[in-house]
Amino acid sequence: MFRRDEAGGANRSSAAWRSSAAPLALVSLLLTAAALPAAAAEALFRISDPRGDDRGDGTLRYPLNYYDLRPGDLDLVAFEARKARGATEFEITFAAPVKSPEGRTIDVGGGQMQEVAREGFYALNVDIYIDTDRQDGSGGVRTLPGRKATIAASAAWERAIVLTPRPFDARSSLRRILLKNLRQELAAAGSSAADADRLRESAPDELERRVHFPSRVRVVGSRIRFSVPDEFLGGPARADWSYVVFSSGADIDQRFSLPELVGGTADEGLFILPAAPGGAADRFGGRRDDDRGQPPIVDLLVPAGQSQERLLSDYAVDGSRPVVLPGVVPAEVK
């Protein structure tokens, strides 16, 4: 499904965040801001992905006229990393030029989209889950809310980078969602109020250590560039780490899709356009009327010999079993 053009060195850092069922398994996330380095960057690795595969499991259909979102806009064609001063500069390339929020209205009152989406793009998210210690089961396996996916144990992650048009709002929303879920899990486990308060107090620090929402971004044609501090990753990104990388549509208005509410509780998403039966302006079209489990993942980097369509179609339609996403190791790709 892809090839590697360049690869860098190797090192391993240990961080165990094991159980996806433990109360703190969700606590893996937050924002660290970083300026883009001015110095020339040294190439670390580059992974290419085929054009024209931005259809998820092969049946996913783009929303109907959602802020001019069209096939190709979420089609990943390259993921690369460069070493810069004190940071790693990542670059995502899409099949089509990245749409700008400038000059677009976001509501009937004439509100301007660039006032909400201030990073130079509005239509997409890119999730990057990084396994730095390469130990099976050591790390997190849950993805952000609304993704309807889990990470393979062989790629369990220690760090996550989430490129989204509203990073500060995403940070706040994620903290709220995680604390709500944490309260529910603690209550179900019969924990005391003191235990709940102690865990809630530790949540922000754990979030900041685990997830980075880039808040200073450069958009150049079909490319989005952003840097991640070495202090967050533990050093420059390495080609022998494992990366789970996928694109999704950004719900710039943070909507809910009514079909997801039918017959059950909505899957609370984090600025992501859902996939649901049929087609509409605010969601991706699903494949079957009774399908509530289809992930809204549009394009996924997959290891050689595996199929994006097969991986993204392997789930329970009732939502009880999500898709499992493998990692890609740039140094192992030919």
Instruction: State the average pLDDT over residues 111-133.
Output: 94
With a pLDDT cut of 70, the percent of the chain lying above it is 76
- Phi, psi (degrees; rounded to nearest 5) at 185: -70, -40
- Helices 167-189 + 193-210 axis angle, to 10: 150
Residue 256 CA, chain-centre distance (Å), reads 18
On the question of pLDDT at 30 being above 50, the answer is no
Beta strands in the chain (DSSP E): 3-6, 42-48, 76-84, 87-94, 124-131, 149-151, 159-163, 211-212, 217-220, 223-229, 242-249, 275-276, 284-285, 299-300, 323-325
Q: What is the pLDDT of residues 42-61, one digit of tens each?
A: 899 999 999 999 999 999 99
In this structure, the strands spanning 42-48 and 211-212 are unpaired
d(CA 29, CA 177) in angstroms, rounded, equals: 11
pTM of the model: 0.82
Mean model confidence pLDDT for the chain: 81
For residue 86, the model assigns a pLDDT of 94
pLDDT higher for 333 or 51? 51
Helices marked H in the chain: 167-189, 193-210, 230-233, 308-313
Tally Cβ neighbours within 10 Å of residue 74. Answer: 29
Q: What is the pLDDT of residues 66-93, one digit of tens each?
A: 889 999 999 999 999 999 999 999 999 9
Separation in Å, CA 164 to CA 116, 125, 230, 306: 12, 5, 20, 27
Domains of the chain: 3-332 (2.60.40.1190)
Instruction: State the average pLDDT over residues 112-124.
Output: 92
Contact 130, 104 (CB under 8 A): no
For residue 70, the model assigns a pLDDT of 94
Separation in Å, CA 57 to CA 49, 79, 151: 15, 20, 17
The one-character DSSP state at 140 is: B
Separation in Å, CA 223 to CA 52, 114, 297: 17, 18, 19
Instruction: State the average pLDDT over residues 324-330.
Output: 98
For residue 203, the model assigns a pLDDT of 55
